[in-house]
Structure 1
């Protein structure tokens, strides 16, 4: 497995890199753009930990998928009762390990709670976005959806530094 992780570092050092941060600017994911093909966009993801935001979030695409290449993570998931209802959702947890396949549809809400060191995934999603990206915010009156406004836009990879030139990239351990 160590040799495969080194290959992932080598490949990612030549790909456009984006560091994903939480609401407190803590990095938790390195995203490397691979290609767009057949109406899908492909990335390598290296998890630096679990989602730092404690809220469930959606994905803005009709479908997204992940194949865990190394490591593993604990994930919480929930399905919306209706498109605009974020209350009384049954949250379930599951542990995914290397070799697992994870499908995240547009109605699914999820959160990566904890990721093992050196967790890498091959991640892909449909093009285009069909809904805003956001988080479920818990309030006394009930839960609500809050759109996530940050980001570099859908074509961020055209302007991003390569992994080996990304100043925020964490070194191989």
Structure 2
């Protein structure tokens, strides 16, 4: 009986050690469990990016009513500009959109009585080359000045 006791004591400690080691998770188990609990990190990143894009789009749409003019390609592009000679040397892009977002910009501009100017090459160039919040580059000055002068004539005739 004493011999069995002497053999069973080390075996007990060995079995306990092995049991505790088996309870521990390896790195792949930790990652898999984290994915199950919180979700795939790439998917979460895409969701955050999409949410941020939606916030930016909403902010742009909120800016459209204060635009002086919205320059559009009939359906695909819309760029809203505001010109305040005191605040900036050139007109500033306050919103821009493509396809369905461009249609929303046009709709809000119409509802807010913002002048809509259809100019396909200018709308596309502004959309591609100017970021929201930036002044238009000098190479667009001539085209924009003509549009703003036309807008001023319309406003004078309306009075």
TM-score (norm 2): 0.32
User: As a proportion of its length, which structure holds more helix?
Assistant: 2
User: As a proportion of its length, which structure holds more strand?
Assistant: 1
- The structure with higher relative contact order (CA 8 Å, sep 6+) is 1
Indicate the structure (1 or 2) with the bigger Cα radius of gyration.
Answer: 2
